Amino acid sequence: MRRARAVALATWVLVVVATTVLGVPAAGVSAATVSDAAAACTPSDEPPKVLEVSAQDVAIRPGGSSAHQAVHVLVENTCGGMSSYDCAFSETSCTGLNMFLHRTTAAGAAGRGCGISPSWADDATGGQPAPTDDPDVFDYAATLGQWTFDGDDYAPQWSNGCAGAWDIQVTPFNTTVIDGVSSTTSGDAFVAARAFSVLRWSRLRVNATPEPVRQGARLTIRGRLTRQVLEPLGASGTEGEHFVGYAHHRVVLQSRLRTGIYHNIRTARTNKHGYVTTQGTAPHKDRCYRWVFSGASTTRPAKAVGDCVHIRR
């Protein structure tokens, strides 16, 4: 889980997308307490303030399964964690958050179009803002479940430029209802810079030859590192299943006996097509080999399934 503090809005660039409202009653707060807080809250009260945002990294599994993402927003609100889930239809006072997720400005033109307005699903806590040790601070926790390739209103305009760091902008607000008349007070927009990353999936293969091999003979171990192409559904392949070679990246060769723990042997770099090859002398006992990729700022880690070689004496 990554945490980020506010950055100056003067440096923020955003592709325009729609907003989503998140406002729910505080967990562990009785109905009477919430009601009292709502009744006491007025438009003249201090507006809510976002203190911190954290979010999980995102990677969409090949085959198009939606990636779910946990997001937490810490909000200081003297009006308390008021009800209800949807402020637009609430007949009482409520609190909520307008949220944008978008590729960080450092991505420049490559990240243009990479923005999303989230659709929220309740997490294990019911999506309710939980009280903290500070009576005026609440933790909004929810699960974002709209990271897909299907190109609907909740999917970015996918491109490889969408991989990397993303920012989250949150604007909190209180809506108070007095004698049937509602009034909304918004707090300052908060930008959590590089709050999470969108990562391309990666795959790694290994092949040790010849099999079997005589002890002391030359043993060649090959592999290939590939990574997912981020593109809209149907552009080529289907739902994130199009992979290309990942060039000039460091991988580690590991080995072990037929059973036991893998140990590092050496490092190598993939060529321009993602292939890697190394050679050595066959040992005196059967061995299993695999390549390991530790990941990058835009790409998930990967481990090859071990290839075991029988040694003949």
**Residue 290 pLDDT:** 98
Bigger pLDDT: 228 or 65?
228
Determine contact, residues 277/266, Cβ cutoff 8 Å. Answer: no
pTM of the model: 0.81
Which comes out higher in pLDDT, residue 279 or 70? 279
Does 17 have pLDDT greater than 60? Answer: no
pLDDT score for 219: 97
Whether the per-residue pLDDT at 23 is higher than 60: the answer is: no
Structure-model confidence comparison of residues 200 and 146, the more confident one: 200
Angle at the Cα of 187 from the Cα atoms of 181 and 189, rounded to 5 degrees: 135
Q: Tell me, what's the pLDDT at 174?
A: 84
CB-CB contact of 197 with 165 (8 Å): yes
Q: Which CATH number fits domain 202-312: 3.30.70.2740, 1.10.3720.10, 2.60.40.10, 1.10.10.60?
A: 2.60.40.10
Q: What is the mean pLDDT of residues 262-281?
A: 97
First and final C-alpha spacing in the chain: 51
Mean pLDDT computed over every residue of the chain = 80
Bridge partners, residue 148, by sequence: none
pLDDT at 78: 83
pLDDT band at 34 (very low <50, low <70, confident <90, very high): very low
The three-class DSSP label of residue 205 is: strand
How confident is the model at residue 99, as a pLDDT? 86
* Mean predicted confidence (pLDDT) in 103-131: 72
**Whole-Å CA distances, 17 to 23, 72, 86, 265:** 19, 21, 20, 49
Q: 226 or 80: which carries more pLDDT confidence?
A: 226
The percent of residues above 90 in pLDDT, for the chain, comes to: 49
The confidence score (pLDDT) of residue 26 equals 33
> Taking 80 as the threshold, does the pLDDT of residue 197 lie above it?
yes
pLDDT tier at 153, thresholds 50, 70, 90: low
What is the average per-residue pLDDT within 165-186?
86
**80 Cβ contact partners less than 8 Å away, ≥ 6 residues apart:** 26, 29, 33, 34, 37, 38, 41, 95, 136, 138
> For position 126, what pLDDT does the model report?
44
Q: Kindly tell me if the per-residue pLDDT of 12 is higher than 60.
A: no
The ranges assigned to domains in the chain are: 2-198, 202-312
Higher-pLDDT residue of 65 and 214 is 214
User: Is residue 183 very low, low, confident or very high in pLDDT (cuts 50, 70, 90)?
Assistant: confident
> What is the reported pLDDT for 90?
52
Residue 226 has a pLDDT of 98
What pLDDT is attached to residue 107? 85
